[in-house]
Structure 1
């Protein structure tokens, strides 16, 4: 189909030819001015109707292209939403794994600290025993000498 500009140019040319034909008919006395005016008004209405039809067709085409774009963006949004859900699920699993790892580390650290505490308490008790033994040895050495 021709472009709207080409159609407008053809319509303008036909309007000039029709106006010239009506003027020629009126001047030749073949028709009255009233009939020529009514015919011209009818032709103007037909031209306006054709213009509206072309305009509506163009608007419909634009609306269709916009609709296609919206559908494309909706499909992209759906894919993005699906990807985000998958990422959210993975993040949830990672958070859970990190929390479990942190809990295990806390238990391990607690066990290590408890072990160190026991070792320290045992070491302090042994240190007292050694001190007592030294004191006894000194006392015995002092009595023997």
Structure 2
């Protein structure tokens, strides 16, 4: 298909040639000026119709290309959305695992601290017992001196 510029140049050349032929026919008396004016009006209308047709075809082609691009972007968006859903699901699983792990750690730390507290309490009780035993052992030694 001709490009719009070539088509316009060809149409302009044909229009000039046609107007020249009509002018010659009027001058030669072969057709009346009214018939020449009618033929000219018909040719102008035909040229306008051809221009509108070519313009509409170009616009339709552009609209088709835009539609294809939109469909391509929609497909990419659908893929991205699916990937994001997968990532979101994985993140939810990871968050739950981290929360469970944090809960276990808190329980473990609580148990360790409780155990350390019990050991301290037991150690303090033993220290008191040892002090009492020392006092008992030292008491006879003080009495003998």
TM range (shorter): over 0.9
Q: CA deviation at 1:143?
A: 2.0
1:135 is displaced (CA, Å) by 1.0
* TM-score (normalised: structure 1): 0.97
Equivalent in the alignment of 1:7: 7
The runs of at least 4 consecutive aligned structure 1 residues that moved more than 4 Å come to: none
The Cα RMSD (Å) is: 0.8
Query: Which residue does 1:138 correspond to in 2?
Result: 138
Cα separation, 2, equivalents of 1:142 and 1:52: 128
Mapped pair 1:98 → 2:81? no
**Counterpart of 2:21?**
21
Q: 2:15 & 2:31 partners in 1: Cα distance?
A: 18
Give 1:144 deviation, angstroms.
2.9
In the alignment, does 2:47 pair up with 1:38? no
Structure 1 gaps of 5+ residues are none
Query: 40-49 or 28-37, which moves further after superposition?
Result: 28-37
**Alpha-carbon distance, 1:138 to partner:** 1.1
The SS at the match of 2:49 is helix
Aligned equivalents of 2:71, 2:33: Cα separation in 1: 56
Shift of 1:140: 1.4
User: The residue matched to 2:31 in structure 1 has which SS?
Assistant: coil
Distance in 2 between residues matched to 1:25 and 1:79, nearest whole Å: 69
